[in-house]
Amino acid sequence: MHMAVTLPEIILRLTLAVLIASVIGYDREHKNRPAGIKTHALVCAGACIIALIQEKIGYDAIQIAIQQPKLAGIVRADEARLIAQVVSGIGFLGAGTILVQHRTVLGLTTAASLWAVAGIGLAIGMGDYIIGIAGAIAVVLVLVFSKRLIQVHAMKKLEIQYKHKVETKEFIQHYFEKHHITVTNVNFKVTQKPEGLIYVNIYDIEIPRSLNYADIIEDISMNKNIMRIQMVSI
């Protein structure tokens, strides 16, 4: 049976939604992602508000039907209508966090986390605390601990432009072996430029999780013969 939501209950639900979303947003902001604490908190609070409105609409419809039985067949409140609009509508905000740079797609995890906090906000707004809190724990576990629990060697393409073919190739090969980077494929080409022959190798590599992409690029770029290096997703 629907019951009117009291002001203390409304404050509790909104506070809980903001706190939970802030924890999730902290992970995104800490990793310098497009949407951080404020964005996640606002999305979750907004979804919570809409769920509270939906619950109020349902309560009012029942009260009208009780007080005026003749209107019972006319007054209707679909509890899923507003919620469905949130679930589909949050996509525009998630899409805004997705970027494509150098053939690399960035922001998918942040878009997914925004969609998830909207669901958490709806659950808390409807008073389903168990679902909301359990969902929040699941999201935090995925964001924070998934990489530690599941060890996956990331597959990347590494493009290196260099001069002095023999000595530079030996340097690159030695670096890969030293850091346990597996080369699964390599493409080679050479171009003639005013400064001489420029060699370009494009490596398909598997990188251990213990390695940082930025460190790899910086280490290799320190070699005097390296003219350009960039890493892109396959």
Q: Where are the domains of the chain?
A: 7-149, 154-233
Q: Give the containing element (helix H, strand E) for 233.
A: strand 226-233
Q: What is the mean pLDDT of residues 16-30?
A: 85
pLDDT interval class at 211 (50, 70, 90): confident
CA geometry: angle 94, 97, 102, nearest 5 deg: 135
Q: Residue 191's pLDDT band (boundaries 50, 70, 90)?
A: confident
What is the pLDDT at residue 105?
Answer: 57
Q: What pLDDT sits at residue 127?
A: 85
Mean pLDDT of the chain: 79
Q: Is the pLDDT of residue 175 over 70?
A: yes
Q: Which of these, 48, 149, 166, lies nearest to 40 by C-alpha position?
A: 48
Decide if pLDDT at 124 tops 60. yes
Mean pLDDT value across residues 99-106: 55
Is residue 87 a contact partner of residue 123, using CB atoms and an 8 Å limit?
A: no
Is residue 169 pLDDT above 80, yes or no? yes
Percent of the chain scoring above 90 in pLDDT: 11
Burial class of residue 175 (count of CB atoms within 10 Å of its CB; 0-12, 13-18, 19+): middle
CATH class of 154-233: alpha beta
> Using 50, 70 and 90 to split pLDDT, how confident is the model at 1?
very low
* pLDDT attached to residue 52: 85
Residue 117, Cβ neighbours under 10 Å: how many? 32
Question: 122 falls in which pLDDT band (50, 70, 90)?
Answer: confident
Contact criterion met (CB below 8 Å) for 205 and 158: yes
